[in-house]
Chains A and B, each alone.
Chain A
Amino acid sequence: MELEERARDSADNCIACTSCVAVCPVTKANPDYRGPKLVGPAHNRMHFSDESDYEDSLKLCSNCKNCDITCPNGVSVATLNMLERAKYYKAHPEKHTQADQMLSHNFQMADMLKSIPFGRSCANLGMSIGEAMGMMGAMGIAPQRKSPRFATKYFRELYKEIKQPEGLTKEVLFFPGCFIDVNDPEVGVAFVKVMNANGYKVLMDDRFKCCGSPLVVGGYLDEARSHADSNVAVINEYAAKNIPVIACCTSCSLMLKAEYTELFAQEEMAQAAKNVYDAFEFLTILADQGELKKVQVSSDKKFIYHAPCHLRAQGMGMPAVDLLKEIGVNIDSADAGCCGMSGSYGFHKENYETSMKIGSELFDKINASGAHKVVCDCGTCREQIKHGTNAKTTHPIQVLAKAYEQ
């Protein structure tokens, strides 16, 4: 195995230009964080000096990837941080908090609740009571937050009820990801509608696991590796049959497309990455080939779009907003950087203030925009936006699905 892009080696490319420090939202919001350059590539050279030492402020990195986006030299700063964090927790498993455990393993909880009759309703009720009683705070979860509720039917259950049109010859495999599956299954439903309208049958594969993003951020790298291995095996199986894998969650797609390879440097991961697409990336390719179903909307309802950091990290522009504009949707990008949530980051009690500070620019822009809805590809960004602005939110695939219904 010889991979050119090994995260550890990429530190060697750093020219200490400090651009990453200038764009890191956490460095800006929280002076305790020593910044991507020092904590990532600079420290990477110093670890030899003392195995028992550790950079405490590394816990403040949100893995938002703005450092990677800006780096002119291809340093995988965020991944260096995640690898270092994992090394620390491997040596000090006792340092994991209850919140780390919970927020990184949401998928386990979701599976468990599904197997209990009325499990989900009870859990949601429990959460409301828990939040009211301040139990979340005691567990290390920001008491100001309302945890996303479990859907009464997960997407994997809804999918089975969907009747896809007969005779669709082309197929795609959907990677729903935990948030869409468990908390926001309507996004998945909209995705199936859009794909069907374009002549694709949507497949599901029960072997898919959580992409592992929350595990990586929590420092559970070995578990993430096992998720990566099994997901990659599935993806490559479909790749052999020329069936592309599509995700609607940009953190999932980033994980499958880039982070697996950066973190674990396996050839089959690099291979699998080539067969994974973000939904709008895929639809844009169809559009370029003149194969996308044509539709034109005529409504002057104004939308505002927030581009998730993990979408920007994929280096493909903003396909959703471009495509929606193309079909006549009145939508503009907020262009306000990171929302501050970064997956589970903003749910941690100690990150709450930083998270809200980071999001404030976006919140202000949204509030001032007069838009009736905020469009965003990422589920946890949408949670943050709802929390910071009271605005209504939606996934762009839902906007497109609506347009198709007209």
Chain B
Amino acid sequence: MVKDKATVVVVGGGATGVGILRDLSMRGIDALLIEKLDMVNGASSRYHGLLHSGARYAVRDQEAAKECIEENTILRRIGKSCVEAISGMFVQVEGDDPDFVDPWVKGCAESGIKTREMSKEEALRLEPNLSRKLVRAFEVPDGAIDGFRMSWQNVLSAARYGGRYKTYTELIKINVEGGAVKSITVRDNVTKEEYDIECEILVNAAGPWAGKVAQMAGLDCSVSPSKGTLIAFNQRISNRVVNRLRKPSNGDIFVPHGSITILGTSSITIPDPEDTSTSWDEVEELMKTGEGVFEHLRDYRILRVFAGSRPLYVPKGADGGRNASRGFVTLDHEKEDGLKGMMTICGGKFTTYRLMAEKFCDVLAPKLGNTAKCRTAEEDLVPAVSEADKKAARQYFPSYGVNLAATRLGTDKFPEVVKTLKENPETREVLCECENVTMAEVMRIAQEPTSHSVADVRRRTRLGMGTCQGNYCAIRSAAIANKLFKDKLEGCGDSLSDMKNFLQARWKGITPVMAGKTLREAEMTRGMYEVLFNVNGGRR
């Protein structure tokens, strides 16, 4: 049954999909984005969060390096509410190939990336935790970018231009008639209802799943999901991105993100992008390399490990993994395979998502007779909450809470939360003490039509993403949030099962690193939920 209709349907709520939705909407094209689970379910949150300066690619791939620095500059300007405008360092330690430095410096210069060598003393003063085996250090304009906020902000920006989005809506069938895509069949993963959406053009932006989506139309598009594992530490080990100055390899980069640091990453080709498992061995490999940069790395507390899959496009005949191109491709299936009304975009990087969307839409828009120019670099993703509003909000927020809440909530929801905090003092209770999230914010996000479980609230608030990994906020927020959800996710129907699912997902990232400080915390959680609350109903 046809229930909906859009000129363009974009499949995939990752960086690539949201970038295209925004671009199309700003060009005045009617577009609808569908995402099978919650927004940013794939690589765009299971990633490192490095806003590349391009320096990492300066030797091997100068074209990518140039794209990165240009987009880095644009995103720092338009994405103030999702980019952490810090800088980065490339450090060489004893044992690293000294001959790598000159070509790297030259490559950066040729790609337009500013580097500045600093003395060892300066480097250690700026980042005191760096290894004393440091040999040389350079400053580069690397930054950090938050995948959750960036993606939601693109979607909300698109919505201002009429763009629409549906989460928990999975493409399950592509309906082709007379050599052209006529409609798609989707499943609502909350209600389990299946229905059709008519469209003129279907955009496959399913990242590492792009091959699977192409198969639904009987096409062969070889995407090789390449899994990368990342370790999140409980605190900021440095205030700058720290890269190892050598030929790019595993475990080379530390990115500080808000209250945490992420170390990564590895690269293993896997058959199924759903595979986000991690193992102690992968952790050990990363830790070994990471210790080269921060020699006391093992003293720092690991919060969790997680993994994501890069959507690497493998041209026929080439092999995958770290050597596959990190560039992206636009496939017009009309030209390639004689199927009208379907295009695929694949590969690329988070950092260049806007440019990818621009180039892609430059091909797509003329097919619809639209000649509007791309404007995505000109306008801020979301307007920033004013300093005056933030200042006024301070009296109701917990300390250190205003800035973070303002960038998460934006100009529409932030004042609403402030109003709730003001009028209803009990909502000032901090439900998540590790990431400083108030009851009012949890309540506001729970009321969003896209929220169906505490995990959905987590992705938009950072609830449960800090030190205790949900130990305290799960029990505090499950009941409050579950009263406010419009539709509840199957399997999370009541607050108890929702709370258990939420903790189970946190647990997944903790299990592979259950040692030392992390183990103590896990044992605390187990003691509380299994012993004290007996949530699993165990009997003697």
Within 8 A of B (CB), among A17-63: 17, 34, 37-38, 41-50, 53-56
| CB within 8 Å for A45 and B399 given contacts A15-B520, A16-B433, A73-B520 | no
B433 touches A12 (CB 8 A): no
Shortest distance from the beta carbon of A45 to any chain B beta carbon, whole Å: 4
Partner of B433, one of A42, A54, A56: A42
Contacts of A48 in B (CB 8 A): 236, 239, 256, 258-259
Interface string of A49-84 (1 = CB under 8 A from B): 110011110000000000000000100000000000
Q: Which of B400, B404, B520 contacts A43 (CB 8 A)?
A: B400
- Chain A, Cβ-Cβ closest to B256: A48
In the complex, per-residue mask of B217-246: 1 if CB is within 8 Å of any chain A CB, else 0: 000000000000000001110010000000
B109 surroundings in chain A (CB, below 8 A): none
Are B467 and A42 closer than 8 Å at their CB atoms? yes
**Contact, CB under 8 Å: A50 / B234:** no
Chain B residues within an 8 Å CB radius of A44: 235
A184–B524 alpha-carbon span in the complex (Å): 47
Q: A37, A41, A42 — which one has the most chain B CB atoms within 10 A of its CB?
A: A42
| Neighbouring A residues of B430 by C-beta, 8 Å | 38
Q: Which residues of B contact A50 (CB under 8 A)?
A: 400, 402-403
The residue of chain B having its C-beta at the shortest distance from the C-beta of A58 within the complex is: B399
B280 interface residue, CB < 8 Å from A?
A: no
Tell me if B472 is interfacial: C-beta within 8 Å of chain A: yes
Instruction: Please pick, from A11, A38, A49, the residue contacting B235 in the complex, using a CB distance under 8 A.
Output: A11
The 8 Å CB contact of A45, one of B235, B401, B402, B403, is B235
Complex: how many Å from CA A45 to CA B237?
11
Q: Which of B194-228 contact A (CB under 8 A)?
A: none
Q: Chain B residues near A46 (CB, 8 Å)?
A: 259, 400-401, 435-436
Query: What residue in chain A is nearest B521 (Cβ atoms)?
Result: A15
Answer yes or no: A226 CB below 8 A from chain B CBs: no
Q: Contact: B472 with A54, CB < 8 Å? A: no
| Contact between chains at B517 and A38 (CB < 8 Å) | no
Question: A12 CA to B302 CA in the complex, in Å?
Answer: 9
> A16, B434: Cβ atoms under 8 Å?
yes
CA A48 – CA B300 in complex, angstroms?
A: 18
Q: B468 contacts the other chain (Cβ, under 8 Å)? A: yes
A9 at the interface (CB under 8 A from B): yes
Closest Cβ–Cβ distance, residue B275 to chain A (whole Å): 31
Q: Give the most central of B235, B256, B398, B399: most A CB within 10 Å.
A: B399
| CB < 8 Å neighbour of B234 from A12, A34, A37, A47 | A12
Residues on A with beta carbons closer than 8 Å to the beta carbon of B300: 9, 12
Please tell me which one of the listed residues A9, A15, A37, A49 contacts residue B400 in the complex, with CB atoms under 8 A apart. Answer: A49
A276-326 interface with B by 8 A CB criterion:
none
Q: Which of B299, B467, B521 contacts A9 (CB 8 A)?
A: B299
Q: CB-nearest residue of chain A relative to B301?
A: A12
A13 beta carbon closer than 8 Å to chain B:
yes
Out of B399, B433, B517, name the residue touching A55 (CB < 8 Å). Answer: B399
How many Å lie between the Cα of A38 and that of B434 in the bound state? 8
Whether the Cβ atoms of A56 and B399 lie closer than 8 Å is yes
Please tell me which one of the listed residues B256, B399, B435, B467 contacts residue A54 in the complex, with CB atoms under 8 A apart.
B399
Query: Complex formed: what's the CA distance from A53 to B395 in Å?
Result: 11
Asked if B466 is an interface residue, CB under 8 A from chain A, the answer is yes
The answer to whether A12 and B468 touch across the interface, beta carbons within 8 angstroms, is: no
Interface size on B, residues (CB 8 A): 32
Q: Is A49 a contact partner of B404 (Cβ separation < 8 A)?
A: yes
Closest residue of chain B to A13 (Cβ to Cβ) is B517
Q: A42-B434, A48-B239 are in contact. Are A16 and B400 (CB under 8 A)?
A: no
Q: Mask for B465-483, Cβ within 8 A of A = 1, else 0?
A: 0111001100000000000
Taken together as a complex, chains A and B put the C-alpha atoms of A76 and B319 apart, in Å, by 52
Chain A contacts for B403, CB-based, 8 A: 49-50, 53
- Indicate if A14 sits at the interface (CB-CB under 8 A): yes
Is the Cβ of B433 less than 8 Å from the Cβ of A14? no
With A50-B400, A54-B399 as contacts: A38 and B259 at CB distance below 8 Å: no
A50 and chain B: residue at smallest CB distance = B403
**Chain B 377-420 interface 0/1 with A at a Cβ cutoff of 8 Å (1 = within):** 00000000000000000100011111110000000000000000
Is the CB–CB distance between B521 and A45 below 8 Å?
no
Contact partner of A17 (CB less than 8 A), chosen from B394, B435, B466, B524, is: B524
With both beta carbons as reference points, the residue of chain A lying nearest to B517 in the complex is identified as A13
How many Å from the CB of B299 to the closest CB on chain A?
A: 7
Measured between beta carbons, the chain A residues less than 8 angstroms from B468 are 15-16
Contacts of A11 in B (CB 8 A): 235
The reply to whether B467 and A53 form a contact with Cβ atoms under 8 Å apart is no
B517–A53 CB distance below 8 A: no
Q: Judging by beta carbons under 8 Å apart, are B402 and A53 in contact? A: yes
Q: Which residues on the A side are within 8 Å of B234 (C-beta)?
A: 12, 45
Q: Say yes or no: A15 contacts B235, CB within 8 Å.
A: no
A16 adjacent to B471 (CB under 8 Å): yes
- Cβ B400 vs Cβ A53 within 8 A: yes
Give chain B residues whose Cβ lies under 8 Å from the Cβ of A49.
258-259, 400-401, 403-404
Q: Can you name the residue of chain B whose Cβ is closest to the Cβ of A9?
A: B299
A43 to B400, CA, bound (A): 8
Q: Would you give the shortest CB distance from B84 to chain A, in whole angstroms?
A: 9
Q: Which residues of A contact B258 (CB under 8 A)?
A: 48-49
Cβ–Cβ < 8 Å partners of B399 in chain A: 43, 53-56
**Closest beta carbon of chain B to A268's beta carbon, Å:** 19
Closest to B234 in A: A12
Q: How far is the CB of A130 from chain B (nearest CB, A)?
A: 36
Inside 8 A of B520's CB, which chain A residues have their CB?
15, 73
- Residues of chain B within 8 A (CB-CB) of A38 are 430, 433
Distance A49 CA – B436 CA, assembled complex (angstroms): 11
A56 vs B400: C-alpha distance in the bound complex, in angstroms?
11
Within 8 A of B (CB), among A322-366: none
In angstroms, Cα B462 to Cα A45, docked, is 14
Contact B259 A45 (CB under 8 A): yes
Chain B residue contacts of A34, Cβ below 8 A:
398
Closest to A4 in B: B299
Q: Which A residue sits closest to B472, measured CB to CB? A: A16
Contact A12-B472, Cβ < 8 Å, known A48-B258, A49-B258: no
In angstroms, how far is the closest chain B Cβ from the Cβ of A27? 14
8 A Cβ contacts from B260-308 to A: 299-301
**Are A16 and B521 touching (Cβ within 8 A)?**
yes
CB neighbours (8 Å) of A43 from chain B are: 399-400
Give the docked Cα–Cα distance between A53 and B433 (Å). Answer: 17
Question: Which residues of chain B from 484 to 530 have any CB-CB distance to chain A below 8 Å in the complex?
Answer: 517, 520-521, 524
A-B complex: 4 closest residue pairs judged by Cβ atoms: A46-B400, A16-B468, A45-B259, A55-B399
- A-B CB contact pairs (8 Å), 12 listed: A15-B468, A15-B517, A16-B467, A16-B468, A42-B467, A45-B234, A47-B400, A48-B256, A49-B258, A53-B394, A55-B399, A73-B517
